[in-house]
């Protein structure tokens, strides 16, 4: 509990000073977008999740000793994704935008004004802090005249759909998965389902339909990839208990590897968490079918 309180304090501090939950180079968040309009009532909302999620494993290693620090800023030099990680995240986001355009949907982007969703506060149970941040983001969206937000990851999508419980929020929130058309792809993949997409956000059939329409053959086992039986990657637990998170990830990849050596994920947290343990290839859905 003390670790959660400390983490919450650090997150709030960074949100107030940097707009992100931990020290982040804003150029990493925005560098993927070059020609999207700043003014639009429909925006793509990344919450910088794909761009900075690769640094979380490093952050979680230092969090136990970070309580001795007054802030996370001394760790900022260590909290930088590699160029390869940055470029991968940029490809994913640009694939999504291109596919939206091909479906007749043009989006804007807030660039350096894009806020964090507050997902980590929500998932740590810090509801008062999440409420305050939701009100801040909702106010920004009203100021910008934003009516529709297209999300790219399950944790951001979940956070935004909860805003209405804490503040006035009349913005339509929709996942890119509900809007894009897949390209034709060959091959067999095992799918690691996002717990949020699959069980709580009602999008399992939507993205599995995209996979089927793309031509991909999925390798299934009802005890490993079933809606109610598939396990979590363990990633959301990492900031609180890294050791348990790693054990969950190891167990999950062991089961997935029984089915095949090519793994599809739909979440940047799942990718970062499972990739070090999976002996085969791990790809995001947007890398493969868009």
Distances (CA, A) of 129 to 8, 15, 216: 8, 10, 42
Q: How high does pLDDT run on average in the chain?
A: 93
Is there a contact between 40 and 150 (Cβ–Cβ < 8 Å)? no
Q: Is residue 183 part of a domain?
A: no
169 with 274, same domain: the answer is no
Report pTM. Answer: 0.95
230 with 199, same domain: the answer is yes
Place of tokens 């086992």: 221
The strand pairing partners of 125, in sequence order, are: none
243 with 160, same domain: the answer is no
Can you tell me the distance from the alpha carbon of 85 to that of 52, in angstroms, rounded to the nearest whole number? 9
Can you tell me the distance from the alpha carbon of 274 to that of 250, in angstroms, rounded to the nearest whole number? 8
193 with 78, same domain: the answer is no
195 with 283, same domain: the answer is yes
> At 70, phi and psi to the nearest 5?
-85, -20
Provide, rounded to the nearest whole percent, the portion of the chain with pLDDT above 90. 81
Mean pLDDT of 143-156: 98
Nearest to 242 by CA among 56, 48, 50: 56
Can you tell me the distance from the alpha carbon of 69 to that of 13, in angstroms, rounded to the nearest whole number? 13
Per-residue pLDDT band for 80 (boundaries 50, 70, 90) equals: confident
Nearest to 65 by CA among 50, 81, 78, 48: 78
Per-residue pLDDT at 165 exceeds 90 = yes
Report the pLDDT value the prediction gives residue 9, as an integer from 0 to 100: 84
Can you tell me the distance from the alpha carbon of 200 to that of 158, in angstroms, rounded to the nearest whole number? 8
Per-residue pLDDT at 236 exceeds 80 = yes
39 with 156, same domain: the answer is yes
Mean pLDDT of 246-251: 98
Can you tell me the distance from the alpha carbon of 279 to that of 250, in angstroms, rounded to the nearest whole number? 11
Provide, rounded to the nearest whole percent, the portion of the chain with pLDDT above 70. 93
Per-residue pLDDT at 1 exceeds 80 = no
Mean pLDDT of 103-108: 97
The strand pairing partners of 202, in sequence order, are: none
């Amino acid at each position: 509990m003390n670790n959660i309180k400390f983490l919450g304090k650090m997150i709030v501090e960074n949100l107030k000073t940097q707009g992100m939950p931990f020290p982040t180079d804003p150029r990493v968040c925005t560098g993927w977008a070059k020609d999207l309009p700043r003014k639009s009532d429909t925006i793509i909302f990344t919450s910088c999740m794909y761009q900075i999620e690769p640094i979380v494993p490093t952050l979680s290693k230092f969090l136990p000793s970070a309580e001795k620090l007054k802030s996370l800023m001394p760790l900022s030099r260590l909290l930088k994704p590699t160029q390869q990680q940055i470029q991968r995240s940029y490809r994913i986001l640009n694939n999504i935008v291109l596919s939206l355009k091909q479906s007749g949907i043009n989006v804007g982007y807030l660039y350096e004004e894009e806020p964090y969703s507050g997902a980590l506060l929500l998932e740590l149970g810090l509801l008062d802090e999440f409420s305050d941040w939701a009100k801040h983001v909702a106010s920004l969206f009203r100021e910008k005249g934003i009516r529709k937000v297209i999300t790219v990851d399950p944790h951001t999508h979940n956070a935004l759909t909860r805003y209405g419980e804490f503040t006035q929020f009349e913005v339509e929130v929709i996942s890119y998965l509900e809007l894009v058309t897949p390209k034709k792809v060959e091959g067999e993949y095992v799918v690691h389902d996002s717990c949020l997409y699959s069980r709580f956000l009602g999008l399992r059939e939507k993205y599995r339909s995209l996979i089927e329409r793309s031509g991909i053959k999925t390798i299934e086992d009802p005890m490993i990839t079933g809606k109610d039986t598939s396990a979590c990657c363990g990633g959301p637990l990492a900031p609180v208990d890294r050791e348990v998170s790693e054990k969950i990830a190891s167990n999950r990849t062991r089961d997935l590897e029984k089915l095949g050596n090519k793994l599809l994920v739909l979440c940047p947290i799942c990718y970062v968490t499972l990739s070090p343990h999976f002996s085969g290839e791990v790809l995001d859905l947007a890398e493969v079918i868009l």
